[in-house]
Amino acid sequence: MTKLQDKVAVITGGTKGIGLGIASEFVKEGAKVVIGGRNPETGNEGVAELEQLGGQALFVQCDVGDLDSLDNIINKAVEHFGRLDIYVANAGINDPDKTHFLDITPDQYDKIMDINLRGMFFGGQKAAKQMVKQGEGGVLINMSSVNAHLALDSQMVYTTSKGGIQQLTKVQAVALAKYNIKVNALAPGPIGTDLMRRVGSDKQLMNTILSRTPMGRIGTTNECGRLAVFLASPDSDFIFGQSIYNDGGRGFQAFPTPGYKTVTDEEYALLEGLQKEQE
């Protein structure tokens, strides 16, 4: 039997990138998935991709900064599939303008925190209420980042939110343990997503990132998905309130790898297709 047979999972930010990678691995393991996102076109494309894998999937338009929208995606999951077993809080945004700390406005701060931390807090709360109502336990998986503990001053609000997610994961785990709801966080390093490609538009920065990643490459969304399957399955039942890093060693290497070979022009030109090649 597959690891998540007939489990029902909601994945916010599930229409592309890491979220869709998680959804893909979930359906391979027998789960029924609801993917949330803002763009219906992207959402419908994601559902088609999951159905091609043989999975049952539903798209629900969702803005995690809107609490009514969070209620809606959970309600739709229960209406469509009858229950909720796994909630993956993956939706998030970063600081696109790389604003210096001294210049960040309250509006910039609120926009990122509303999605990355407030939305995760209340989305997890709403999902947990449904799981408690069902009386059979469940799983919450929060999307953190290696940047939860790296001081990245060009992404001030984003990194602050990711640090908050790690503490949120711990206190959620303690609060929900008596209901048999398991809570952990997944904390990726550099992964082949649209966001990573935007970061990688600066070749010097990409070389810097890879020189401080012992494995010497960026990860794939499917690698994130396999870790999420582990955290959602009984295999991880005694892992509790943890942030699990899938970062190729990025989080603990202080200096560049000696003799690191920088990215060639040919390799750099393939960056946009790197994730598909690795899959």
pLDDT digits (tens, 9 = 90+) for 89-142: 999 988 777 788 999 999 999 999 999 999 999 999 999 999 999 999 999 999
| Residue 147 CA from chain centroid, whole number | 13
Map out the domains of the chain with their CATH numbers.
8-193+220-255 (3.40.50.720)
Model's pTM, two decimal places? Answer: 0.88
- Whether 269 has a pLDDT exceeding 60, the answer reads no
User: Which pLDDT value is given to residue 259?
Assistant: 63
The band of 279, judged by pLDDT with boundaries at 50, 70 and 90, is: very low
- Maximum pairwise Cα distance, the chain: 56
| Best-predicted range by mean pLDDT (94-108, 203-217, 255-269) | 94-108
Summarize the confidence of residues 2-10 as an average pLDDT: 96
Summarize the confidence of residues 184-189 as an average pLDDT: 91
* Annotated active-site residue in 87, 109, 158, 268: 158
User: Which pLDDT value is given to residue 131?
Assistant: 98
Residue 84 DSSP class? -
Identify whether 87 is a catalytic site residue. Answer: no
Q: Are 228 and 182 in contact (CB under 8 A)?
A: no
User: Which pLDDT value is given to residue 261?
Assistant: 56
Report d(CA 112, CA 120) in Å as an integer: 12
Hey, what are 249's tokens?
A: 């060693």
With a pLDDT cut of 90, the percent of the chain lying above it is 66
The band of 276, judged by pLDDT with boundaries at 50, 70 and 90, is: very low
pLDDT digits (tens, 9 = 90+) for 44-97: 999 999 999 999 999 999 999 999 999 999 999 999 999 999 999 999 988 777
- Whether 168 has a pLDDT exceeding 60, the answer reads yes
Residue 187 has a CB neighbour count (10 Å cut-off) of: 25
User: Which pLDDT value is given to residue 278?
Assistant: 35
The band of 42, judged by pLDDT with boundaries at 50, 70 and 90, is: very high
